[in-house]
Amino acid sequence: MFIQSIDILPQQNAPFSAIVTAEVTRILVDGSTQSNWNRRTVARDSAGRIFQERRLLQPNGDKVMTPVTQLEYYDPLRHEFFACRPEAKICYQHPYSAPETMRLMPAGPLPDGRGSVKREELGRKLIEAVDVIGSREITTINAGVFGNEKSEPIVKEFWYSPRLGINIITKRFDPRNGTQNFVLSNINMNEPDPKIFEVPEGYRVVKMNGQ
């Protein structure tokens, strides 16, 4: 199952650190559901450097920190990305070209008559003292596109912080898979400790893509 978590762009002068809680609920063959969670640390400094943990999902992952599978370090100034695997103490170094903006699917008809996309504005509110703007994207898939007998909606809801340039809350529902919810908490907009953006000592670095 593909899981697209929050997108963090290398925006300058917008430092923060936070905990991302992910809840993924799958629809099983018998119609029942199964939910798994994780909680992980993310951070960005004023230079736009980004740190992210990747952790396993499991049924009690909202209450405990599950094992780390990867540590990620993005440096837009040096154009480097390091993916570090704690179990092997190896960091894979890649070239990094930072995306400038997050792309949204345009509203209106989908190609080949597959359905349509519409958007709704949900207003503004505060989440942990952060001003956010809400929106909802509804993609209606016409009957027969993926074996569905009737039209089915794919619903995405976002609560976006203009100051931080990220979604504080992201919710997705797809009738083919289930729901994916991502929420930032413990948001701290002070400058993070610089050490969090440094590749850990004692790891072997392997350069990729012919570097």
Q: How far is the C-alpha of 183 from the C-alpha of 37, rounded, in Å? A: 11
Query: What is the pLDDT at residue 101?
Result: 66
pLDDT band at 210 (very low <50, low <70, confident <90, very high): low
Task: Provide the number of structural domains found in the chain.
Answer: 1
* 76 in any annotated domain: yes
What string of DSSP letters covers 33-44?
Answer: EEEEEEEEEEEE
Average pLDDT, the chain: 91
pLDDT tens per residue, range 55-72 = 999 998 888 889 999 999
8 Å CB contact between 51 and 197: yes
In which domain, by residue range, is 44 found?
Answer: 16-207
Judged against a pLDDT cut of 60, whether residue 1 lies above it is answered with no
Judged against a pLDDT cut of 90, whether residue 144 lies above it is answered with no
Query: What is the pLDDT at residue 108?
Result: 86
* 3 in any annotated domain: no
pLDDT band at 33 (very low <50, low <70, confident <90, very high): confident
Q: Could you tell me what percent of the chain has a pLDDT over 90?
A: 69
Judged against a pLDDT cut of 80, whether residue 45 lies above it is answered with yes
pLDDT band at 127 (very low <50, low <70, confident <90, very high): very high
Mean predicted confidence (pLDDT) in 206-210: 81
Query: What is the pLDDT at residue 172?
Result: 93
pLDDT band at 146 (very low <50, low <70, confident <90, very high): confident
pLDDT tens per residue, range 70-111 = 999 999 999 999 999 999 999 999 999 877 666 677 788 888
* 77 in any annotated domain: yes
* 160 in any annotated domain: yes
φ and ψ at 194, to 5 degrees?
-55, -25
Judged against a pLDDT cut of 70, whether residue 150 lies above it is answered with yes
Judged against a pLDDT cut of 90, whether residue 113 lies above it is answered with no
Model-level pTM? Answer: 0.88
* 163 in any annotated domain: yes
* 40 in any annotated domain: yes
- State whether the Cα torsion 199-204-209-211 is positive or negative: positive
Q: How far is the C-alpha of 141 from the C-alpha of 129, rounded, in Å? A: 37
* 5 in any annotated domain: no
* 116 in any annotated domain: yes
Judged against a pLDDT cut of 60, whether residue 211 lies above it is answered with no
Task: Output the domain CATH number for residue 36.
Answer: 2.50.20
Structure tokens at 167: 């979604």
pLDDT tens per residue, range 177-194 = 889 999 999 999 999 999
